[in-house]
């Protein structure tokens, strides 16, 4: 294997890992603060990515501006879902019921994305949005022509992930998030505004998912379509479990590991074995499941001691 | 038992649709019955054991394609093929369950999400599965003599009968499980997990059992789908995540832990969009400016809203609303105070 | 009093950096009623959870003394503890609200159900016979507790005192030799508490069951227990008859401000 192939796989891994990390961090944020498993993470990201794609297409605004607008709608989406559905279910519903709630949200969002009435038909027409940086802009690295867009996505993700990490570790609101995550009742008794914390968690998760969608769509096999983030979401959940649901950043590291395994595996599967790349996914995820069988709390996680 | 009555009634309804003006509606009716069967198995997993599976539709798809391959490529007899498919489904359920059920129930949801995704992609990648596209079977031969094809109307009445028999079978099996010590164990692990352990119930084993049963019922539903529709269905349009969610909706909206609720749930979630939305769309299209209107997407929104409304406001499902109504009517007749206090 | 049924030696349990139980040692004799008392947060429920193997990473040993040989309970998975004759109730009631009292109690007999799910699906005649037998046993126990008139009622909506009795009924279905009760009288009024006292005494006498209980209600403890152990901050304070422990200086200091008799 020559070095240019390694470079290709490396940057592919970073790109995939970044997208999965963004989605995965959103899932963990919600899980730890809102105590809900958000299966709708992918759908929320996709529907707002549609907004960006449509605005860029219909109004000629740049993808950058469209993305900013979509982040605004994403913020609103997260807030609405938390305030309208998750919070009211907070006390009366069991954890399983909250999961089912998010499954219901998937159906509603999927339905909306399939609607064909008036402007909605145009809004949700599958298309290939432009990349942040045109695909023709490339840079030669060790024999491989790498798109600047890829580098940008990776850099943007690392920047966002680091910013959120610092925010959680160093600021007062970050402290509020950590306290709510470890014990919401105690947090409320201490005066932490837990309702705002969960609202922010949902809003931020929605925005992260949207960026993931907009980054992924230009080069996705079917472009921007309702199922855009399903594959990513599977990886994101595996990253969350593999990295340990108990920490915020174990899953992020796991996301990059999975990104690397998938990129390398798929390349190997199609180039060396001549088989469809899905087989690589299958093997990798099976291996992760087997590892999880022996280490159920992930490679970074610890078992929480539950009070009986 | 009451299920035989129910099955017979369903059969006659289906038969009359087939003999009526729009025999194609019988396809949707058969779907309602088939989804009820799958929902009964899923109920054991979700309603009684409190676990979510997102791979139900994928298992249905595996069994339709499995039957197709066995019957068309290897000329295996129908009953034998069905048996092989059911055993294979049980084995797959066992494998996925063992890997995912060691700790919290959330793992099963994630693992089944992965299974559904991978199976879909696998089918799309290989010719053996027609690249995920729908594939028809030639007629089904029983005992080397009678053969039923989907084209002859008389034959389709028999096929509807087979579906009705399947429905009765499914109800009886789940009923027997629920009323038995196993049923009590399933309920205990979802509602009083620690007490279940303290009373000697192996939570892991019962969760695994529930998942295997749900998987086998899904495969059974797939077999009946193939039998009646005489086609495997397509991976993209039929055996997708959307259907898995719809099946969960049937369990939730119909009433978790209720058996007749499954039929009610299927009737609501499949029946209302098909028998109300579609004509309504045509009705709207009659008006000049609206002639191109499409109500696409409304069925998913409808189902999603029902799920949310049920979870938030009527956690016991539609069946409880109906039984409450019955109670109120009955007590008005008998002038007794109505209290929902007694277990049936 | 007969010989020991259960021995706990140097039991310690930590959560994070917090030591909830600290080198606790005691034993229960057969047919004895032993009370574990201490201020709130003293670690009592943690002790129960270690004994019943809900927590596995404790230090020290928990030994069940049998007729033939002793068994280190750490080797036993939590769902097999009942096979060794140990049944328990829970501080936060763990009942199934939307099922009948009878079905809840029947769960306690799960270990005696010999049939498997295939038998259940096919409705073997032996299943019907065994179910009948178990239901009769459950009715006897419910009658013993004075609540057999409620056997077909939903658990949901029953008074708290009744629900406590249901949990005890469920625990009795397994014919335990050691019954572990976690705050059985919590939340009960005076009449219910007296009734429960009678029940516990009857269980001890008629079923010859050793009983280990946690309780805050001192009157309850004084009336029922043969021996009392007091702990605080997870550490042993005193052991003796109820009167002896009540008069113990260290115990009184620990309870200062929490007098309840």
Residue A18 lies in a domain: yes
| pLDDT tens-digit readout, C126-174 | 888 899 999 999 999 999 998 888 889 899 889 888 999 999 999 999 8
Which residues have C-beta within 8 Å of that of residue C132, sequence separation ≥ 6?
A: none
Which residues are CB-neighbours of B39 under 8 A, at least 6 positions away?
A: B247, B250, B251, B254, B262, B265, B266
Q: What's the confidence (pLDDT) of residue A162?
A: 92
What percentage of chain C carries pLDDT values higher than 70? 97
Q: Has residue A152 been placed in a domain?
A: yes
Q: Is B35 helix (H, G, I), strand (E, B) or coil?
A: helix
Whether A267 has its CB under 8 Å from any CB of chain B: the answer is no
The parent domain of residue A33 ranges over: 3-294
Chain B residues near residue C117 by CB distance under 8 angstroms: 177, 180, 182, 209
Q: Residue B341: pLDDT band by 50, 70, 90 thresholds?
A: very low
Question: pLDDT tens across B5-42, in order?
Answer: 787 887 878 777 777 777 778 888 899 999 999 999 99
8 Å CB contact between C220 and C164: no
Decide if A308 is inside a domain: no
The pLDDT tens digits for C208-227 are 889 999 988 888 998 899 99
Q: Output the DSSP codes for A154-191.
A: HHHHHHHHHHHHHHHHHSHHHHHHHHHHH-HHHHHHTT
Interhelix angle C190-206/C160-172, nearest 10 degrees: 10
- For residue C127, the model assigns a pLDDT of 87
Neighbours of A, requiring at least 3 CB pairs below 8 Å, are B, C
Smallest CA-to-CA distance from C27 within C54, C56, C2, C57 is with C2
Burial (CB count within 10 angstroms: exposed 0-12, middle 13-18, buried 19+), residue B76: middle
DSSP string, B163-230: HHHHHHHHHHHHHHHHTSHHHHHHHHHHH-HHHHHHTT--HHHHHHHHHHHHHHHHHHHHHHHHHHH-
Report the residue count for chain A: 308
Statement: residue A307 has pLDDT above 70: no
Q: What percent of chain C has pLDDT over 90?
A: 38
pLDDT higher than 80, residue C195: yes
Other Cβ atoms closer than 10 A to A246? 19
Give the pLDDT confidence score for residue C132 in this predicted structure: 92
Give A226-251 pLDDT, tens digit per residue. 989 999 999 999 999 888 877 888 89
- pLDDT of res. A23: 94
Measured between alpha carbons, how far is B321 from C130 in angstroms, rounded to an integer? 35
Distance CA(B116)–CA(B58), nearest Å, equals: 5
Give contacts of B 127-186 with A, CB under 8 A: none
Is B337 part of the contact surface with chain A (CB cutoff 8 Å)?
A: no
Interchain pair B241, A231: CB under 8 A:
no
Q: Is residue A25 part of a domain?
A: yes
Q: Which tokens sit at C68?
A: 């033939």
User: Residue A47 class from Cβ within 10 Å (0-12 exposed, 13-18 middle, 19+ buried)?
Assistant: buried
| CA-closest candidate to residue B57, choices B285, B241, B260, B328 | B241
Q: What count of other Cβ atoms lies within 10 Å of the Cβ of residue C152? A: 12
Which domains does chain B possess? 2-259 (1.10.3470)
Say if residue C258's pLDDT is above 70: no
Q: Are strands B147-148 and B140-141 parallel, antiparallel or unpaired?
A: antiparallel
- The boundaries of every CATH 3.40.50.300 domain in chain C are 1-85+176-261
pLDDT classification of A300: cutoffs 50, 70, 90: low
Question: What pLDDT does residue C70 have?
Answer: 86
**Integer angstrom CA distances of residue A121 from A3, A114, A245:** 46, 8, 38
Rounded Cα gap, residues C40 and B265, in angstroms: 48
Does residue A213 have a pLDDT over 90?
yes
pLDDT for residue B90: 94
Q: How far apart are CA A225 and CA A228, in angstroms?
A: 5
Would the pLDDT of B344 be above 70? no
Please, where are the H alpha helices in C35-124? 44-51, 101-106, 117-122
List the single best residue of B170, B179, B197, B200 to mutate versus C (max C Cβ within 10 A).
B200
Percent of chain A's residues with pLDDT above 70 = 96
pLDDT band of residue A305 (cuts 50, 70, 90) is low
Per-residue confidence (pLDDT) for residue B103, from 0 to 100: 65
The reply to whether residue C54 touches residue A305, judged by beta carbons under 8 angstroms, is no
Tell me: pLDDT of A255 over 70.
Answer: yes
Band (pLDDT 50/70/90 cuts) for residue B336 is: low
Compute the nearest-CA separation of A77 from chain B (Å).
16
Task: List pLDDT tens digits, range B259-315.
Answer: 999 999 999 999 998 888 888 888 888 777 777 777 888 899 999 999 999 999 888
Residue C2 DSSP SS3? coil
Structure-block tokens of residue A139: 């840079």
Position B149 scores a pLDDT of 67
Domain C1-85+176-261 class, CATH top level: alpha beta
- Three-state SS annotation for A288-308: HHHHHHHCCCCCCCCCCCCCC
Mean pLDDT calculated for residue range C47-65: 90
How far apart are the C-alpha atoms of B174 and B152, rounded to whole Å? 33
What tens digit of pLDDT does each residue of A9-57 get? 899 899 999 999 999 999 999 988 888 889 999 999 999 999 999 988 8
> For A259-272, what is the mean pLDDT?
88
Token pair belonging to B54: 């997102």
Mean predicted lDDT score pLDDT of chain B: 85
Mean pLDDT across chain A, nearest whole number?
87
What is the distance between the terminal CA atoms of chain A, rounded to a whole angstrom? Answer: 55
Extract the tokens encoding A77: 């989406």
ipTM computed for the complex:
0.89
Cross-chain residue pair A308–C15, CB shorter than 8 Å = no
Q: How far is CA A25 from CA A33, A41, B122, C164, in A?
A: 12, 10, 28, 43
Is residue B330 over pLDDT 90? Answer: no
pLDDT of residue B342: 43
pLDDT exceeds cutoff 80 at B88: yes
Q: What is the pLDDT of residues B137-186, one digit of tens each?
A: 776 666 555 666 666 767 778 888 889 999 999 999 999 999 899 999 99
Chains touching C by CB (3 or more pairs below 8 Å): A, B
Considering CB atoms only, which of B177, B191, B199 is closest to C117?
A: B177
A75-91 confidence digits (pLDDT tens): 999 999 999 998 888 76
- Is the CB of A85 less than 8 angstroms away from the CB of B308? yes
Domains in chain A, number? 1
Q: How far apart are CA B237 and CA B132, in angstroms?
A: 10
How far apart (Å, rounded) are the C-alpha atoms in residues A147 and A144? 10
Cβ-in-10-Å burial (0-12, 13-18, 19+) of A153 comes to buried
Contact C10, C24 (CB under 8 A): yes
For residue B167, give the nearest of B94, B87, B266, B247 by alpha carbon.
B266
* pLDDT the model gives residue C57: 85
- Chain B residues in contact with A286 (beta carbon < 8 A): 99
pLDDT at position A303 is 60
Residue A112 pLDDT class (50, 70, 90 cuts):
very high
- Please indicate whether, in this complex, the C-beta atoms of B341 and C115 are within 8 angstroms of each other: no
Q: What are phi and psi of B228, to 5 degrees?
A: -80, -50
* 3-class secondary-structure state, position C73: helix
Instruction: Look at residue A93 in the predicted model and tell me its pLDDT.
Output: 76
Q: Which residues, including other chains, have CB under 8 Å from residue B205's CB and lie 6 or more apart?
A: none
* Residues B117, A230 contacting (CB under 8 angstroms): yes
Nearest C-alpha neighbor of B26 from the set B219, B132, B166, B155? B155
**Residue C27 phi, psi (nearest 5):** -140, 160
Decide if A302 is inside a domain: no
CATH number at A89 reads 1.10.3470
**Residue reference for tokens 């001192």:** C218
């Amino acid at each position: 294997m020559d070095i240019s192939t390694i470079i290709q796989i490396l940057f592919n891994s970073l790109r995939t890992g970044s997208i999965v990390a963004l989605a995965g961090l959103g899932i963990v944020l919600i899980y730890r603060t809102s105590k809900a498993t958000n299966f709708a993470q992918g759908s929320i990201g996709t529907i707002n990515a549609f907004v960006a794609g449509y605005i860029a297409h219909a109004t000629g605004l740049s993808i950058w501006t469209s993305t900013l607008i979509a982040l605004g709608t994403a913020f609103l989406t997260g807030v609405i879902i938390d305030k309208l559905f998750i919070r009211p279910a907070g006390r009366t519903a069991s954890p399983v019921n909250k999961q089912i709630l998010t499954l219901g949200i998937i159906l509603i969002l999927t339905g909306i994305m399939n609607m064909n009435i008036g402007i909605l038909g145009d809004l949700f027409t599958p298309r290939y949005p432009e990349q942040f940086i045109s695909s023709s802009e490339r840079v030669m690295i060790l024999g491989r022509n790498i798109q600047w867009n890829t580098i940008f996505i990776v850099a943007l993700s690392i920047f966002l992930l680091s910013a959120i990490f610092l925010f959680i570790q160093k600021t007062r609101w970050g402290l509020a998030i950590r306290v709510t995550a470890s014990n919401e009742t105690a947090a409320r008794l201490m005066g932490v505004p837990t309702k705002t914390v969960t609202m922010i968690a949902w809003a931020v998760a929605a925005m992260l998912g949207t960026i993931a969608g907009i980054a992924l769509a230009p080069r996705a096999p079917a472009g921007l379509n309702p199922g855009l983030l399903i594959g990513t979401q599977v990886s994101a959940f595996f990253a969350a479990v593999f990295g340990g649901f108990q920490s915020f950043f174990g899953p992020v590291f796991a996301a990059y590991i999975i990104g690397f395994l998938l990129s390398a595996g798929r390349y190997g599967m199609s180039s060396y074995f001549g088989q469809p790349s899905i087989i690589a996914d299958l093997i990798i995820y099976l291996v992760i499941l087997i590892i999880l069988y022996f280490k159920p709390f992930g490679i970074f996680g610890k078992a929480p001691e539950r009070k009986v | 038992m009451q299920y035989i009555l129910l099955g017979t009634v369903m059969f006659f309804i289906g038969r009359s649709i087939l003999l009526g003006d729009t025999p194609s509606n019988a396809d949707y009716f058969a779907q309602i019955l088939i989804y009820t069967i799958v929902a009964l198995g899923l109920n054991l997993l979700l309603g009684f054991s409190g676990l979510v599976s997102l791979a139900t539709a994928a298992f249905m798809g595996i069994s339709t394609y499995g039957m197709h391959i066995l019957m068309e490529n290897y000329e295996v007899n129908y009953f034998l093929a069905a048996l092989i498919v059911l055993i294979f489904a049980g084995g797959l359920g066992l494998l996925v369950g063992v890997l995912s059920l060691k700790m919290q129930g959330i793992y099963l949801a994630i693992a089944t999400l992965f299974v559904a995704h991978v199976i879909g992609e696998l089918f799309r990648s290989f010719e053996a599965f027609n690249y995920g596209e729908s594939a028809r079977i030639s007629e089904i031969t029983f005992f080397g003599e009678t053969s039923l094809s989907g084209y002859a109307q008389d034959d389709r009445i028999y096929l509807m009968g087979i579906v009705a028999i399947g429905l009765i079978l499914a109800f009886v099996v789940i009923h027997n499980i629920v009323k038995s010590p196993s049923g009590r164990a399933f309920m205990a692990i979802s509602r009083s997990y620690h007490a279940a352990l303290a009373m000697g119930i192996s939570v892991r084993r019962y969760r695994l059992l529930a998942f295997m049963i749900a998987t086998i019922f899904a495969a059974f539903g797939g077999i009946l789908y193939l039998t009646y529709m005489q086609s495997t269905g397509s991976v993209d349009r039929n055996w997708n995540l959307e259907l898995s969610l719809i099946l969960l909706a049937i369990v939730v909206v119909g009433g978790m832990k209720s058996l007749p609720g499954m039929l009610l749930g299927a009737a609501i979630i499949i029946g209302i969009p098909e028998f109300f939305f579609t004509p309504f769309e045509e009705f709207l299209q009659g008006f000049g400016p609206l002639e191109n209107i499409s109500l696409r997407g409304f069925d998913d929104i409808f189902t999603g809203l029902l799920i949310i409304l049920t979870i938030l406001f009527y956690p016991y499902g539609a069946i409880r609303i109906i039984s409450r109504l019955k109670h109120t009517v009955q007590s008005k007749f008998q002038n007794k105070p109505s209290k929902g206090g007694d277990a049936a | 009093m007969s010989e020991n049924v259960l021995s706990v030696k140097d039991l310690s349990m930590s959560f994070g950096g917090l030591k909830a139980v600290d080198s606790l040692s005691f034993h229960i004799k057969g047919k004895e009623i032993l009370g574990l008392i201490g201020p709130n947060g003293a670690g009592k429920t943690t002790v129960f959870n270690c004994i019943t193997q809900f927590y596995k990473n404790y230090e020290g040993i928990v030994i069940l003394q049998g007729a033939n040989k002793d068994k280190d309970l750490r080797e036993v998975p939590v769902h097999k503890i009942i096979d060794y004759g140990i049944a328990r109730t829970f501080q936060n009631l763990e009942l199934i609200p939307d099922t009948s009292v009878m079905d809840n109690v029947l769960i306690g007999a799960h270990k005696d159900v010999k049939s498997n799910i295939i038998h259940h699906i096919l409705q073997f005649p032996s299943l019907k016979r065994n179910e009948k037998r178990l239901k009769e046993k459950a009715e006897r126990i419910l009658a013993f507790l004075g609540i057999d008139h409620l056997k077909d009622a939903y658990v949901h909506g029953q008074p708290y005192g009744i629900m406590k009795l249901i949990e005890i009924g469920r625990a009795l279905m397994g014919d335990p030799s050691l019954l572990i009760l976690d705050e059985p009288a919590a939340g009960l009024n005076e009449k219910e508490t007296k009734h429960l006292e009678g029940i516990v005494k009857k269980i001890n006498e008629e079923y010859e069951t050793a009983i280990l209980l946690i309780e805050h209600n001192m009157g309850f403890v004084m009336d029922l227990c043969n021996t009392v152990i007091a702990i605080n901050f997870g550490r042993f304070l005193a052991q003796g008859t109820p009167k002896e422990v009540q008069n113990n200086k260290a115990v009184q200091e620990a309870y200062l401000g929490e007098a309840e008799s």
